[in-house]
Each structure stands twice: as structure tokens, then as C-alpha cells.
Amino acid sequence: MEQTKRITFFGFSEAAAEDEDYKNAYQTAALLAKEGFVIVDGAGPGVMRAATEGAKSVGGKTIGVSFNPKGMTNFEGRDPGNLVDREIVAPDYFERTMKLIELGDALVFFNGGTGTISEFGMAWGLARLFFGKHKPLILFGSWWHEIMEAFGKNMHLRDQEIRVYRIVNTPEETVEEIIKTIGRPKMLA
């Protein structure tokens, strides 16, 4: 059977299994997979691996989008321990990010570094451009309030840019928000 809705996870590639971000991504993916969502991530380490492992812990399906970084000295690359069910290899970082955004019916952003900021920036810009048909952005962690308030205070944001995201604090809130915004997945034979 094929699940019809996918959730893409973004976050810190250096998160270790004992870190809160890793644990939260794992638990969120497990809860979403239990509901029938397919979990999508960048096929790398950290939050990406946690998402795959969480989904697999309950028998869920996963998709990883990777690329072969040529000349990049600071890219984590493909994690051979991230055992996704299906891997899509993109030609470069930009195409990888766009494919991750394209595949997700909703996008979940955990704490991360410049890669996560870049991915969030692209997703946020696209959500504003496609407002009304946009993909929901789920920002995991109360610390997002401070960041988004700083954007609102210092940048020229439109109303639509504020309305495309939700901030959540727990795996359960994440699942609730996703089901509220995109509904439950349907199973196809």
C-alpha cells in the first residue's frame, strides 16, 4: 500500500542520539508514520537520520533525497546509517532542497545551522509566493518565536508571510497541527 501524504523533516545534521532535537525528530516521525504519513528527509545524519529511524520504528515508509557534493568541504553528505526505503539522488544542493520541499505536503523545521536556515528561507519564500496553495511550515521549538519576532520587527514582511507557519513545542502538537492543516493520509492499494 502507498501512503498519499508525505512530511519533510529539516534540521541539524550533527544532532546526536542523546540530543533533544534528535529525540524530538525521532518521536515526531514515529507518531506521523503511525498515522500513515511517509517521512522524507535529506538522507544524512542527525535530525535526518532520527526522522528515518523514528518512522521505521513503527513500520513507516521513508524517502531520502541526497546528492553527491563535489568540492564542498563542509557538507555532511549521505549517511550510510540512514536506511531510507527509497533514495532520490539530486544533481546538487539547490535541486536537493527543492526536491525535499516538493515532496513534502507539510515541512517540519527543527533547530539547525546554515543549511537549515537556507532550506527554511527557500520554503518560506515559496510559501508566500504560493500563498493559499502553500505547504504548511511547522517550526519545532519555542525558540522560533524569538527568531520570527526579530524578522517581523526588522524586515518588511507581508501578512501572508506570517500566516504560512505555525510554531509547535512537542511531537504531539506537530502531528495535531499537520492533521489540522493537511488532513490524514489515505491509503491506496
Confidence of residue 76 (pLDDT cuts 50, 70, 90): low
Range of the domain at 76: 2-188
Cut 0.95: pTM above it: no
Number of domains present in the structure of the chain: 1
Confidence of residue 156 (pLDDT cuts 50, 70, 90): confident
Contacts of 136 (CB under 8 A, 6+ apart): 106, 107, 127, 164, 165, 166, 177, 178, 181, 182
Q: Can you tell me the distance from the alpha carbon of 161 to that of 112, in angstroms, rounded to the nearest whole number?
A: 21
CB atoms within 10 A of CB 150: 10
Span 105-147, pLDDT tens digits: 999 999 999 999 999 999 988 998 888 888 999 999 999 999 9
Q: CA angle at residue 120 from 107 to 27, to 5 degrees?
A: 40
Does residue 78 have a pLDDT over 80? Answer: no
Q: What is the CATH number of the domain that holds 101?
A: 3.40.50.450
Confidence of residue 32 (pLDDT cuts 50, 70, 90): very high
Q: What is the pLDDT of residue 41?
A: 98
Burial-class residue 122 by CB neighbours within 10 Å (0-12, 13-18, 19+).
Answer: middle
